[in-house]
Structure 1
Amino acid sequence: MDLQTSGLVFVILLSSTFGIELIDHGYTGVLIAINPNVPEDPALLENIKDMLKNASDYLYNAVGNRFYFKEVTITVPANWNATSYKKATTERYIKAHVFIDEPNPAYGDEPYTLQYGQCGNESQYIHLTPNFLLDDQLTDVYGERGRVFVHEWAHLRWGLYDEYSEEEPFYLSGEGKVEATRCSINITGQQCMPGDCKPCETNITTGLPTSDCMFVVNNSSSAKESIMAIQGLDIVITQDKDTLGDEIVILTDGEATDVIKDCEDAVIGSKVMVHTIALGPNSDKTLQNISTKTYGQFLYAAQSLDSNELVDAFASLTASDGNLTHQIIQLESSGTTTTDWFNGTFAVDWTVGNGTVITIVYEAHLPSIFIRSPNGDIFNGSHFSHDVTTKTLSLKIPGTAEVGEWHYSLLNERDSEEAMAITVITRAASADVAPIVVKAHMDQKSSDGSKAMVVYAAVTQKGLPVIMADVTATLESDTNHKASLQLVDSGAGADAFKHDGIYSAYFSDLMSGRYSLKVRVKNTDKARISMHRNSGAMYIPGYVVNGQVVMNPPKPPVNHEPVEVGSFSRTATGESFVVALPPGSTGPPPFPPCKITDLKANLEGDNVTLTWTAPGASYDQGTASLYHIHWSEDLGLLRGQFDKSEVVNTSALSPQEAGSVEEYTFSSYHFNITNGTSVYFAIAAENAEPLQSEMSNIARVVKFEPPVPHKSIDMIAVAVSGTVAVIVVMIAGIVIVHM
């Protein structure tokens, strides 16, 4: 490759995306997965390879010879010609960093990256369509594929936000000039010392994701039984010469630390994916390490039957090849210990209903069972098959389960308390309709308690966000610490973007232990499937050739009207995590209020009105004590020296409970806002400790008085940015943009 050997770069702190490593300046472990709905096409694979090779060259030059793509793996669907590809090892579809899939209805063929967190936090995945990779005409619309991939890589790896906006492509500067929305031209970088990077060609292998699974169980806390379980793991590895790509599930409630350490290297070297389920507080504390190093899942489950956590753990291990219509969907998972009735509901929506199974487990004595369908049909114990040995009853609903709300009632007819639990699973209603799915996870797999963790739940239907649902998370540890959090999609607090279907909240009540994570989602009257989108590759409306503007085809229209969801319910289990506070700690250190991220400012006459979402006393929980509002006409001063900038009197402003909408109006006479003047505002919250939050985002007001209207055009400006010609026309103070 013809690569440059020196240059200027911005200093960027790199985080670790799952599976991706930076070794000798080269990225390895990058996984691209092709959805099974995509037909086999050798040209598609070749274009992916060409894109990555070009992207590697472009990235290497763009960052001053520091990074490049060294090794990329592509997994192809199982229905492709198996003799042409290698067998996958620990690569799985759901672990991919890049998906080649059918168009998302909100984006069409436009490349995009799914971002959960704030700027600087790594993202979830890049989405590309086969058409983008095969249709060369789209390179005119979105740019050369390698460059587009590097753009999306910046979202994925470094969590950068787009520097342009389709909603507000232009803004009015403080001097009354219309300018393109972009990264500030005043940002300066730091020159890095030249590196010793040795570029090499991108090495791409293709793998067929097929595997066998073995289940190893230990249901005794004795060391002998634990050793037998680990020996069983060792037998699987040494007897079968072709363990490549196999999966093992280890369930244990005992300890076998030394034995696990003895076979750890053999397990990792075998290319077997190991999932571990720690059952109860006495299970081995080193299980998580072996799952992490083999790219498996680690799950903690309480031993109590009414928690239903063991059933949830197995449900979460259901593999997905990317075909959502084959995926098992959990509608309900709940349990209790009672001497009376156990009542509840679950909802079947229009996206699911096939293969619906209701499973009930009980502690000792068979409960009375009443299940009522939406149209009033009753199912009782006589309709269930009964396994006395496992104390399990199951009912498979014939055909497609009726859409609507189902009610269940279980009665313990004994005088003493007994535990019971219910689980409902289903599949897509048809092969043509993708079901609503929920994915839950924490932003960290472990924590030392120095900062709050973030709980995420993505609620989507074929990549489209399901918004305004009721989402709660339950976190329970092996030390009996339990927390319940309401997750929000408000664009405030822990949530980065409003109405993107990603619900989140801070978990700040940290105590040492291993935690399970369960998320429950149910409909509200306002729940909708939205066409909302946050980012994507920049659409190029046209370009200039020999002084002539050549227009590209317009984007396909998108129906922005949200679709009603109706009655629905879901439960999902996320991978478990560990909190290990410093020795002697009885709890985490006190936390400040969370950063305010949605501050907005508006100038009306002589008054400035600020609006924002209230943070809490501890991140997004509770109520803060007071607000500090500062302002400046110097953006750099406010950003760099918030506490030294001018102060707005907030003596009459009392914080409300976290999540509330705050509004504060005050006179602008102190600011001397004249025509063309910009004034910048920022805010910080303080709690009773007192601990102060980070400074908020910066909001701006600008006073601009348009010239006296004339019948003729006042101003015509032509701006050329790259290959895009933009004509800005101002008529009677109204800005009209032609692209």
Structure 2
Amino acid sequence: MGRPALLHEPLRPLHQKFFIHAWAQFRWGVFHEYGEPGENPFYFSVKYGRPEAIRCVFYMRGLVSMKNGSICLPPGSIDQKTGLYFDYCAWRPYPYNQRIQASMMDYQFIKEITKFCEDDERNQQTLHNYECPSRHNRLCEHKSTWDVISHTGDFAGGKNPPRNMVESELVPQFRVIKATSRKKRIPSSAPAKNYQKELFTRLDTHVVEADTGSSYVELFVHVMQGFMPVVGMKVMATINDPLAQQTTMVLYDNGAGIDMTKGDGIYSRAYTNLYLPGRYQVTARVENASDTFVLDSVVDDFDIPWKSKTIKRSIHTPTVRQLTGYFFDITRAEDLSSAKDVIPPSRISDLHVVEISKANKTAILSWTAPGDNLDDDKVDHYELFSGVNIDDVRKLLSVTNKHSHPMHRSIRTNIVPSRVTFGFQENYFWKAPPDQVDFHGKLHYAIVIRGVDSVGNAGKLSNIVTFSLS
């Protein structure tokens, strides 16, 4: 639900639920659990063997229909190249009379939704849908929102347990602070005259953030015009180390590496050359390119968030901004000066299926390439794990993380060569192993991938993709 939507009078009762939705994003780091604009709102469920709509709780009820209200029914409404519904089909959940209670990160405008999704399999009303490719699943390793929230500092270790609150406890308390008396001010260009006053100037330094165990520093530049993100900018960061040696690097807004979301105006990069103790100074330079524009999203249909329209306003006037005065300190460089490579490739979070061929039993997979050290250079190769008849995709993550997949007969491993450097698209033509068929003769697959560098450091497993070749 976008910012303009909050101004509509009929939606006023939904404001409190939208506030919780937004608060969870900014406070606890969870993400939307519905389809995102520009992405396919459907996926193939390996558990149920059919195309489904992206949603947090599987048992949320709704209709797959066209804009004119006609129902989309398989197989006539299924695109054979993807195995999913055609683009003209949309899933519309029922706004009332639902049998579920979650999730606040999904369609929070639904009357019955009052909770976050969780892992309790005894409660189908709040059980998290682990296999759908929502942004939350892609970025949070397919964990439920409550699993992520409950491990934050606000709730970990039994903090802030649920309790019943009376009305008086829900009324916010405000305190107004103001100066108690006038203060005299002396301008720096004051004329020569006897003043019975003392003039002091001082620079206060505040520690914004401290990390005692990281082998790299994350750099972020947020480019906005008002409240709207500016995309397509050329953003450069120059780092001066304690010996005044300069390193200049490009920051990206491509949703890869340490950059969480593509096209949100936040440009990111990891700096890994932390070999000296002392102060590192950072300067950022921002300038517009030929394809620079401002994004402004407008939601026209609250039932289908992924159908929101995106308005682009080009910036034609030459624009240059420079940020100075930023720095960070390294105090334990002796732990970082080893020549041993300990930094793995970044996690792939946008693995997706471009096209399938049931006749040839193949699939074209695509993802944004990670780097050797997070988002620098290129990986040595990829490990691709494919599972068939996986009724719970978490098993695929669990088995491959424990390196026990050779013992698991339903999981196969492919070594995929690396072709491009960080930030470019990798494509791989995958063919189903002839012996990897489940007990019912179906070909329903779940696949994950990870990058591996030249010394064997492996990145985290990617998001899961699912499809059928039967």
- Relative to the length of structure 2, the TM-score reads 0.62
Shift of 1:675: 9.3
1:680 aligns with 2:446: yes
What amino acid maps onto 1:595 in structure 2?
A: R
Shift of 1:540: 4.8
Out of 451, 458, 462, the residue aligned to residue 226 of structure 2 is 462
Closer, same or farther in 2 for the Cα pair 1:484/1:188, shift >3 Å? Answer: same
Closer, same or farther in 2 for the Cα pair 1:209/1:164, shift >3 Å? Answer: farther
SS in structure 2 of the partner of residue 149 of structure 1: helix
1:173 aligns with 2:45: yes
SS in structure 1 of the partner of residue 460 of structure 2: coil
Alignment deviations for residues 502-557 of structure 1 (CA, whole Å, 9 cap, x no partner): 11111111132222221111122222222359xx9x97559xxxxxxxxxxx9998
Closer, same or farther in 2 for the Cα pair 1:213/1:154, shift >3 Å? Answer: farther
Q: Which has the higher strand share?
A: 1
SS in structure 2 of the partner of residue 146 of structure 1: helix
- Does the 8 Å CA contact 2:41/2:53 hold for their aligned counterparts? yes
Cα distance in 1, alignment partners of residues 53 and 184 from structure 2: 55
Out of 104, 112, 119, the residue aligned to residue 188 of structure 1 is 119
- Does the 8 Å CA contact 1:612/1:662 hold for their aligned counterparts? yes
What amino acid maps onto 2:45 in structure 1?
A: S
- Does the 8 Å CA contact 2:242/2:278 hold for their aligned counterparts? yes
Out of 549, 553, 565, the residue aligned to residue 316 of structure 2 is 565
Cα distance in 1, alignment partners of residues 158 and 292 from structure 2: 53
Partner of 1:146: 16
SS in structure 2 of the partner of residue 147 of structure 1: helix
Cα distance in 2, alignment partners of residues 213 and 466 from structure 1: 42
**1:236-635 residue pairs with structure 2 within 5 A?**
249-250=202-203, 275-276=204-205, 291-292=206-207, 445-448=209-212, 450-511=214-275, 512-531=277-296, 540-541=302-303, 560-573=311-324, 575-581=326-332, 583=334, 586=337, 590-605=342-357, 606=360, 607-633=362-388, 634=390, 635=393
SS in structure 1 of the partner of residue 415 of structure 2: coil
Cα distance in 2, alignment partners of residues 500 and 489 from structure 1: 7
Cα distance in 1, alignment partners of residues 352 and 308 from structure 2: 30
1:109 aligns with 2:4: yes
What amino acid maps onto 2:175 in structure 1?
A: T
Partner of 2:175: 205
What amino acid maps onto 1:446 in structure 2?
A: A
Cα distance in 2, alignment partners of residues 166 and 159 from structure 1: 17
Closer, same or farther in 2 for the Cα pair 1:514/1:108, shift >3 Å? Answer: same
- Does the 8 Å CA contact 2:35/2:54 hold for their aligned counterparts? yes
Closer, same or farther in 2 for the Cα pair 1:573/1:541, shift >3 Å? Answer: same
1:640 aligns with 2:392: no
Cα distance in 1, alignment partners of residues 262 and 162 from structure 2: 41
SS in structure 2 of the partner of residue 524 of structure 1: strand
Shift of 1:672: 3.9
Shift of 1:638: 1.3
**1:710-721 residue pairs with structure 2 within 5 A?**
none
What amino acid maps onto 1:158 in structure 2?
A: W
Bigger mean CA offset, 186-195 vs 611-620: 186-195
SS in structure 1 of the partner of residue 174 of structure 2: strand
What amino acid maps onto 2:289 in structure 1?
A: T
SS in structure 2 of the partner of residue 446 of structure 1: coil
What amino acid maps onto 1:699 in structure 2?
A: V
Shift of 1:483: 2.4
What amino acid maps onto 2:174 in structure 1?
A: I
Cα distance in 2, alignment partners of residues 608 and 593 from structure 1: 24
Closer, same or farther in 2 for the Cα pair 1:540/1:658, shift >3 Å? Answer: closer
What amino acid maps onto 1:658 in structure 2?
A: F
Identity %: 23
Alignment deviations for residues 64-123 of structure 1 (CA, whole Å, 9 cap, x no partner): xxxxxxxxxxxxxxxxxxxxxxxxxxxxxxxxxxxxxxxxxx944346xxxxxxxxxxxx
- Relative to the length of structure 1, the TM-score reads 0.41
Shift of 1:162: 1.1
Cα distance in 2, alignment partners of residues 627 and 590 from structure 1: 17
SS in structure 1 of the partner of residue 311 of structure 2: coil
- Does the 8 Å CA contact 2:386/2:413 hold for their aligned counterparts? yes
Alignment deviations for residues 159-216 of structure 1 (CA, whole Å, 9 cap, x no partner): 100112254555453435564422255951589869688864532234579998999x
Closer, same or farther in 2 for the Cα pair 1:702/1:555, shift >3 Å? Answer: closer
Cα distance in 2, alignment partners of residues 556 and 598 from structure 1: 20
1:161 aligns with 2:56: no
- Does the 8 Å CA contact 1:521/1:570 hold for their aligned counterparts? yes
Closer, same or farther in 2 for the Cα pair 1:679/1:214, shift >3 Å? Answer: farther
SS in structure 1 of the partner of residue 296 of structure 2: coil
Closer, same or farther in 2 for the Cα pair 1:165/1:203, shift >3 Å? Answer: same
What number of residue pairs does the alignment pair up?
A: 342
- Does the 8 Å CA contact 2:220/2:269 hold for their aligned counterparts? yes
What amino acid maps onto 2:398 in structure 1?
A: G
Unpaired stretches in structure 1, ≥5 consecutive residues: 1-105, 112-130, 218-234, 238-247, 251-274, 277-290, 293-443, 543-553, 705-739
- Does the 8 Å CA contact 1:627/1:655 hold for their aligned counterparts? no
Please say which structure displays the higher CA radius of gyration: 1
Cα distance in 2, alignment partners of residues 504 and 487 from structure 1: 5
Cα distance in 2, alignment partners of residues 493 and 593 from structure 1: 8
Shift of 1:629: 0.6
- Does the 8 Å CA contact 1:446/1:577 hold for their aligned counterparts? no
What amino acid maps onto 2:449 in structure 1?
A: I
Alignment deviations for residues 138-166 of structure 1 (CA, whole Å, 9 cap, x no partner): 225xx1x3332222111111110011225
